Amino acid sequence: MKKILSSLLAVYGILNAQGMGGMGMQNPSSMVNSMPKYNLSQKEIEDLKYMYEEEKLARDVYLTLGKKYSNIRPLVRIPRSEQRHMDAIKALLDKYNIRVANNPIGKFSNPEIQSLYHSLVSKGSKSPQDATNVGIEIEKLDIKDLKEKMVNAHQDIKNVYNMLLRGSYNHLRAFTNFANGGSAMRQGKGMGQGRGMGQGRGMGQGRGMGQGRGMGQGRGMGQGRGMGQGMWGN
């Protein structure tokens, strides 16, 4: 059983280091600067500035609504991922000497995004369900814009957009699962009561080192199938 335990812990360590399928622990600046410096079009420059503020929009809305609805786990956890998304785009901006303002939470240089921030916060403040729907709306918008802006983008930009896209799909699943009863965030696919180190087949109640086949009461490492409390990846 010691070998089983060691193997499970090793897997956990690897997944944790990889950021659960997201951008992982790799320094975004190192990754971006390892590729050639291209001659960007004006559209690519404007797109980078826009996407930086759109990722900030997601972070700021979630932080704001998360203060009111601390029981909605995606709102509490995902802002850290959105900050990593901002950091990745900022690495591209720095590489090409493109300046953006360091605005506080809730403030944006782009008037369109500023207006959208106020609208989304107002909509999400009405109820927990509305707040969750706002999360779904933001992630769908992010996915659409990333797909559009990576077309004809240079490879270093495209690589970052692709990683952000994977993260946005994970975030969308987290909000959608929560809206459908919280399967991913409550007793579903995370580090809780699911298929991992929670209540299930592990070292809990069952056939493992306890009463289960996993390291807890589930098949994951928490409330579901992941190693967190949701499926938002990076």
Tokens of 99: 């300046």
Q: What is each CA distance from 22 to 111, 152, 169, in whole angstroms?
A: 30, 23, 11
Block mean pLDDT (10 aa), the chain, length 234:
41 34 61 93 98 98 97 96 96 97 98 98 97 98 98 96 96 96 47 39 40 40 38 44
Residue 28 Rama label (left phi>0; alpha psi -120 to 50; beta): alpha
pTM of the model as a whole: 0.70
Tokens of 117: 């921030």
Length of the chain: 234
Task: Give the residues across from 199 on adjacent strands.
Answer: 217
Give the pLDDT score at 225: 40
